[in-house]
A and B are shown apart, each in its own frame.
Chain A
């Protein structure tokens, strides 16, 4: 009996880890592209919370999770567009605008939620899973890894797509150059502003979908400030991954396990205040930064606007 319990428990723990990891993975992959191209995107937290709210509206009123993801992506792109206009085109300070966007969207979504739902927090039905035949029959791992919503598999697939883009395509090279030596890219005849624009818009879309997943599938509800730093965790993942998408995936799953442990320990009745458990992921981040911080390499021109002919 107790053996069965642990098996189910382990499986649920892993399932939760994947669910918690997906928003971080999407945010991390998005941020990675922005950073590669030389844009430090502090506004990603704002893109996520915006995506979470509109994504929730889409799923709630449209009765479709896919509509939610679409809403999330479009909102993320809309916020990213502001970032593109102000930081990539005009060259305003990326940190200032990033803080502004994050603060503004946190406030705006909290306000909108209040006026739309007052103090009620409607819950979405549980997401239906795409069960992968055979693989899902593996004990413990099967139900944990292969009974998720379709978007989860797509997100993991995206890791390989991103790897391919960075390694094998012209766009990948251009992105890298836009972050390391934008002037060289310009001389080579590629539009730096356009390259960076693509990167930031992709970030917005991914962060928005990540936010929508967090609210619609991860939590099933929207509450103000629900992202609670997930976007910032994405930035950390991107920093530590040193430009490699696979490491974003590994990092996201590690954090996912931490976050999932939080819930699991509460379910298991371990008598510890939630606050102690909530500190775990952040302690993990700081530990990783202490251990690997020196190696976290960032592109040379990160955070610097590019203007032709200005040195």
Chain B
């Protein structure tokens, strides 16, 4: 059954390429030359592919967090807010800590701090869901709107760098940032992202804790009957999932940007959701799809500058992937059911 499985994965991507290409054609852009340009800038040029690999680092961390949440049946749609607050925490503490202690230790403490801040930010939706039964889709979305504004407030009022006119936090000197891999510009955050997603995959599939989470995800009532502490597990899922999103923020700041500017919001989280579904919440498959998405994302940013197709095209593309994927799964299920005697 390997072939249909593969087809079910590649099919939606191809269908999305065609449908999204039609959107481009309607707008008067040649889709083939657009895709060729994206591929060229995101994958085939040495600078592009290094940027792509660097972009993967935060995306992998977010994907890892989403895999935990979705497998446990928790719809954490607030990763964007969690990511931003993690990023601000890293940007605020990084330059300070780097002055006080060895760089390695400073970076490590930043990671811990960002993870904690983001986990804490998810506590309210977690408690509401665990003990009051309030739908987490709504609360996490609301917390993202709040978190985006709060990140701006923090940058403007609390952590503003007085030395520059641009509203931004103090900048972590390049030599204090996460080391780059070998002779490339690829951040070592990539390694961290890979470790995070593989660890999450193994945790969810190979450990008792992962099994408990999956039982909660499959049927909270069954989990309750099995004697699992569902509320505590729910809070744990939120903390892990949000913590990884916060870690993603730290990885992006400490590895790439060095500071947070006001109104900076890459909104990775929403775009990673379809990627995680496409990977069927499998960590290894997610690595491959995060790579693909990063190509599209880096190439798309280049195309926005050169070809005048806004970055928002990527949103349209992932949305089509998501919908076609859901449809494809439905029809495969139908076909396999009709084959049963």
- A residues engaging B (CB < 8 A)? 40, 42, 82, 86, 90-93, 95-97, 99-101, 103-108, 110-112, 114-115, 224, 228-229, 232, 235-236, 239, 273, 275-276, 278-279, 282-283, 285-286, 289-290, 293-294, 296, 298
Contact = CB atoms under 8 A, between A and B. Distances in A.
A53 B308 CA distance: 20
A99 B132 contact: no
Contact of A106 (B135, B315, B322): B315
B22 to A, nearest CB: 12
B141 interface: yes
Indicate the member of A103, A106, A285 with the most B CB atoms within 10 Å. Answer: A103
- Prevailing SS type, chain B contact patch: helix
Interface stretch (B145-153, B184-192, B224-232, B249-257): B145-153
B320 to A, nearest CB: 7
Contacts of A239: 135, 138
Contacts of A298: 135
Contacts of A229: 141-142, 145
Given A92-B326, A229-B145, A275-B156, A104 B310 contact: no
Contact of A92 (B23, B137, B143, B330): B330
Contact of B142 (A95, A107, A114, A285): A285
B11 to A, nearest CB: 16
A273 B153 contact: yes
A296 to B, nearest CB: 7
Contact of B149 (A42, A100, A278): A278
A86 B326 CA distance: 9
B323 A232 contact: no
Nearest to A277: B149
A294 B128 CA distance: 8
Interface string B251-280: 000000000000000000011011001000
Nearest to B325: A96
Given A97-B322, A282-B146, 19 more contacts: A90-B330, A96-B322, A99-B322, A100-B274, A100-B326, A103-B270, A108-B23, A111-B23, A111-B27, A111-B316, A115-B28, A224-B312, A239-B135, A239-B138, A273-B156, A275-B152, A276-B149, A282-B142, A283-B146
